[in-house]
Amino acid sequence: MTIGLNHYLILSAVLFTIGLYGVLSKRNAIIILMCIEIMLNAVNIAMAAFSRYIVPGELTGQVFAIFILVVAAAEAAVGVAIIMRIYRNRQTIDADKIDLMKW
């Protein structure tokens, strides 16, 4: 059975689902950040697969994947900075205990 677009899209969906479950259910803020990275990677796989199978000559999907990568790097830097600031102020990064802005 040859590998087609659907295989890559299903792999991407499975990875995105695992990341979504982790983001929703984990309490450690660093684990949540890691799961967001998994989700971004899953989207990138879908982008590269569309680029390869739908418009092989255009490369638009790969260009978008590169921009997603840039945004992911910026997000990781700012996210880790926020986590470290919260840890310094409150001595915890448990997402259930960081509820200052909850009503």
Partner 1 sequence: MIGQSISFWILAVVSVVAALLVVSLQNVFRAALALILCFLVIAGIYILLSAEFLAVVQILIYVGAISVIIILAIMMTREFQHGSPTNKLRVPALLVAIIFLGIVLFAVTNTTWHISGAGPVVPVTNALADKLFGGGGYILPVEIAGLLLLAAVIGAIILVRDRK
Give, as ranges, the residues between 27 and 56 that touch partner 1 (CB under 8 A): 27-28, 30-31, 33-35, 37-38, 41, 44-45, 48-49, 51-56
Q: Which of 3, 99, 100, 103 binds partner 1 (CB under 8 A)?
A: 3
Amino acid identity of residue 97, one-letter, is K
Q: Tell me if 101 contacts partner 1 by CB under 8 A.
A: no
Q: Tell me if 22 contacts partner 1 by CB under 8 A.
A: yes
Integer angstrom CA distances of residue 53 from 48, 50, 62, 68, 97 = 9, 5, 12, 20, 46
Q: Tell me if 98 contacts partner 1 by CB under 8 A.
A: no
- CA torsion, points 7, 11, 16, 18, in degrees to nearest 10? 140
